[in-house]
Structure 1
Amino acid sequence: MLKHFFILCSGADKKVLASCSEGEQTKYVGIGATVFFTAVMAFIASSYALFRVFDAIIPALLFGIVWGLLIFNLDRFIVSTIRKREHFSSELLQASPRIVLAIIIAIVISKPLEIKIFEKEINTVLLKEKNAMTLNNKKEVSNYFKTDLDKNKAETDQLKEEIVSKEKEVNTLYETYITEAEGTKGTMKLGKGPVFKEKIAKHNLASSELDSIRKINLAKIATNDSKAKTITADLDRKITETQPIIDGFDGLMARINALNKLPLIPSLFIMLLFLAIETSPIIAKLLSPKGEYDYKLEDIESALKATIIQDKYQRDLLIKTSASMHDKVYEDISQDKELYNLQRKKATELLELQAHNFVEKQKKTL
């Protein structure tokens, strides 16, 4: 059962191969097994790659089955259409397009499997890239809100500076009228004279202005602090909103790029392995000598070709002979006097009818 299945996979003619030796059948069983397992690897590779795209098992498996069947059909077609020739150069020229196609298929199959094999190393590369992207994202978002935060901070600092400046002025006026009352500075007279009253009045006015400035500026500072909190909250929200995009940087293209950043040699050897598997049936057919199956198949094809050529020649000869006979028959008929007179009589009647019909039409138009 398994033998017949692999022969089917090889694309060989089962009836012709059944009449060949056991060794010849074994050769095509091996070719068919290679074609089948290549298709299985293609199914696994494409399913994994599409799972990375869709993040769903069922669509990935369905597309994987379609891709595996496509690769199976292509490989089977490639192997079954190679024919053994008299010269190796002719065989190589015949197989060269198929070898190119096999190389392309091998690369397509190997890449998703490389991604799976080096998954841990790729995750490390992606983690570093995600961390760098997160830092850059925070920096860009912070720069976007930096102008508003700096402007708000400058306004708050200016308001605080006004309060501090006024407080210094009030403290200075306080010291002035106290020293005046003690007689240590100013008029140097002890007691609360006219100068003292003037200085304490200035202090009281400045103290009143300080209370007013403090009240107004503190209200503005509270507003600015609230605005700063809002801006900071917007900044944090923007970073939070954009972070899932960075966390989702885990698609097929991202992993292929990450794979390219890993050392080349391991990845190259895996690709070469699949290349060897994919091209092995073709290389085997090219290098193997012309076998029993090839001779029998060539005999069947040459016999069919000879039959078709003979049939075509007979059809062409039949057409030519039939045409010659018809020409002779009609030539003999044209010499018959009775047939000629009858044809002349009928033509004369037809011309008379046409003439009468023409005259009737002319009368109707007058």
Structure 2
Amino acid sequence: MLKQFFILCSGADKNLLEGCSEGEQTKFAGIGATVFFTAVMAFIASAYALFTVFDSIYPAIAFGVVWGLLIFNLDRFIVSTIRKRDSFSAEFLQATPRIILAVIIAIVISKPLEIKIFQKEIDTVLLKEKNAMALANKKQVATYFQTDLDKNKAQTDSLKSEISRKEKEVNALYETYIAEAEGTKGTMKLGKGPVFKEKIAKHDLAKSELDALRKTNEAKIAENDQKAKTLQADLDKKVTDTQPIIDGFDGLMARINALNKLPWLPSFFIMLLFLAIETAPIIAKLMSPKGEYDFKLEDLETALHATISQDKYQRNLLAKTSAEMHDRVYADIAQDNELYNLQRSKAKELLELQANGFVEKQKKTL
């Protein structure tokens, strides 16, 4: 039963092959098996390729089945239409379009399986690219918010600097009136005299101004700090929102690009393997010797061609003979005087009727 199935896959004439030897049937069963397993490999490769695109097994399997059947039908058709000839170059020329197509298909279906085989290496390349993209994205988002952050920080620093300057001023006045009281500076008199009172009054005034300034600026600094937290939260949210896009950067095209960054030699040999698999049905047909089945098929085709050529010749000859006979019959009729006189009288009668009708029309127009 399995042998009959593979013979069916080969596209051979089952009835014609049944009359051939066991070896001839085995040869075509082998060709059919090559066609079948090529379609199976095409199904696996295309299904995996679609799985990496849709992340769903059902559309991947559905498309894989369609693609496998397409390759199966194509290979079966090509193999069944290749005729064994006396010249290998003529057979190869006949198979050239299929070989070119096989190269294209091999390149297409080998990539998904290469991606699966080198998955760990590709994941490493993608991880490096994702990390680089994440850093670049964070830098880009930070640059977008940097102007507002810098402006806010500058305002806060300015407010803090203003408080610091006022504190230095108050401290300087404090040291001045203390020194005046101790008699180490100013009037150089020990005690709390009029100058001391004047200087402490200035200190107290500056101290009250410092308190008011600190209260006002600290409120503004708190507001700026809150604004800075909001900006930072927005920055972090922007980075968080864009991170899933970076994490999802592992589609088919990304993996193909990552595969191209790996050493080319292993991928090249895998592609050659699939090229051999894709061209296997054609090569098997080309390399197989001209056998009993081919001779019988050639005999049937030449016999049919001869019959059709003979029928065509006979039809042409029949048409030519019939035409010659009709020419002779009508030539003889043309010499018959009785028929001539009858035709002459009828023509004369017709001309008279036409002339009378023309006269009647002319009268009506007058």
Normalised-by-shorter TM-score class = over 0.9
* Secondary structure of the structure 2 residue equivalent to 1:186: coil
Tell me if 1:96 matches 2:82: no
Supply the distance in 2 between the matched residues of 1:231 and 1:206 (Cα, whole angstroms).
36
Q: Which position in structure 1 is the counterpart of 2:268? A: 268
Moved more, 216-225 or 7-16: 216-225
Deviation at 1:85, TM superposition (A): 1.4
Q: Which position in structure 2 is the counterpart of 1:251? A: 251
Q: Which position in structure 1 is the counterpart of 2:111? A: 111
Deviation at 1:365, TM superposition (A): 4.9
Deviation at 1:148, TM superposition (A): 1.6
Q: Which position in structure 1 is the counterpart of 2:340? A: 340
Cα gap change, 1:183 to 1:98, in 2 (>3 Å): same
Residue by residue over 1:196-241, the C-alpha shift from the partner in whole angstroms, topping out at 9 and shown as x without a partner, is: 3332332233223222221221122112111111111111111111
How does 1:2-17 map onto structure 2 within 5 Å? 2-17=2-17
* Secondary structure of the structure 2 residue equivalent to 1:166: helix
Alpha-carbon contact 1:71-1:105 (below 8 Å) kept: no
Cα gap change, 1:176 to 1:14, in 2 (>3 Å): same
Amino acid at match of 1:2: L
Deviation at 1:88, TM superposition (A): 2.1
Supply the distance in 2 between the matched residues of 1:103 and 1:73 (Cα, whole angstroms).
17
Q: Which position in structure 2 is the counterpart of 1:284? A: 284
Tell me if 1:206 matches 2:178: no
How does 1:214-229 map onto structure 2 within 5 Å? 214-229=214-229
Deviation at 1:254, TM superposition (A): 1.4
Supply the distance in 2 between the matched residues of 1:83 and 1:110 (Cα, whole angstroms).
30
Q: Which position in structure 1 is the counterpart of 2:75? A: 75
Cα gap change, 1:347 to 1:195, in 2 (>3 Å): farther
Supply the distance in 2 between the matched residues of 1:29 and 1:181 (Cα, whole angstroms).
120
Amino acid at match of 1:134: A
Q: Which position in structure 1 is the counterpart of 2:181? A: 181
Deviation at 1:143, TM superposition (A): 1.9
Runs of 4+, deviation exceeding 6 Å = none
Deviation at 1:356, TM superposition (A): 4.5
Q: Which position in structure 2 is the counterpart of 1:230? A: 230
Residue by residue over 1:174-195, the C-alpha shift from the partner in whole angstroms, topping out at 9 and shown as x without a partner, is: 2222322333211223344433
Q: Which position in structure 2 is the counterpart of 1:49? A: 49
Amino acid at match of 1:143: T
Cα gap change, 1:324 to 1:168, in 2 (>3 Å): same
Supply the distance in 1 between the matched residues of 2:265 and 2:181 (Cα, whole angstroms).
94
Cα gap change, 1:93 to 1:196, in 2 (>3 Å): same
Supply the distance in 1 between the matched residues of 2:112 and 2:348 (Cα, whole angstroms).
89
- State, as a whole percentage, how many aligned pairs show the same letter: 81
Supply the distance in 1 between the matched residues of 2:116 and 2:211 (Cα, whole angstroms).
72
Moved more, 334-343 or 87-96: 334-343
Supply the distance in 1 between the matched residues of 2:263 and 2:306 (Cα, whole angstroms).
59
* Secondary structure of the structure 1 residue equivalent to 2:331: helix
Tell me if 1:328 matches 2:323: no
How does 1:296-335 map onto structure 2 within 5 Å? 296-335=296-335
Supply the distance in 1 between the matched residues of 2:360 and 2:200 (Cα, whole angstroms).
142
Q: Which runs of 5+ in 1 are unaligned?
A: none
Supply the distance in 2 between the matched residues of 1:231 and 1:348 (Cα, whole angstroms).
114
Supply the distance in 2 between the matched residues of 1:88 and 1:151 (Cα, whole angstroms).
82
Deviation at 1:120, TM superposition (A): 2.2
Moved more, 330-339 or 49-58: 330-339
Amino acid at match of 1:80: S
Alpha-carbon contact 1:110-1:274 (below 8 Å) kept: yes
Residue by residue over 1:99-145, the C-alpha shift from the partner in whole angstroms, topping out at 9 and shown as x without a partner, is: 22222222323222222222222222222222222122112212222
Alpha-carbon contact 1:43-1:64 (below 8 Å) kept: yes
Taking only aligned residues, the RMSD between alpha carbons, in angstroms, comes to 2.0
Residue by residue over 1:137-178, the C-alpha shift from the partner in whole angstroms, topping out at 9 and shown as x without a partner, is: 112212222222112111111110000001111111122223
Residue by residue over 1:37-78, the C-alpha shift from the partner in whole angstroms, topping out at 9 and shown as x without a partner, is: 110111111111101111111111111100000110111122
Cα gap change, 1:177 to 1:360, in 2 (>3 Å): farther
Amino acid at match of 2:212: S
Cα gap change, 1:175 to 1:362, in 2 (>3 Å): farther
Moved more, 352-361 or 167-176: 352-361
Deviation at 1:357, TM superposition (A): 4.3
Q: Which position in structure 2 is the counterpart of 1:158? A: 158
Kindly tell me the number of residue pairs found equivalent between the two proteins. Answer: 366
* Secondary structure of the structure 2 residue equivalent to 1:184: coil
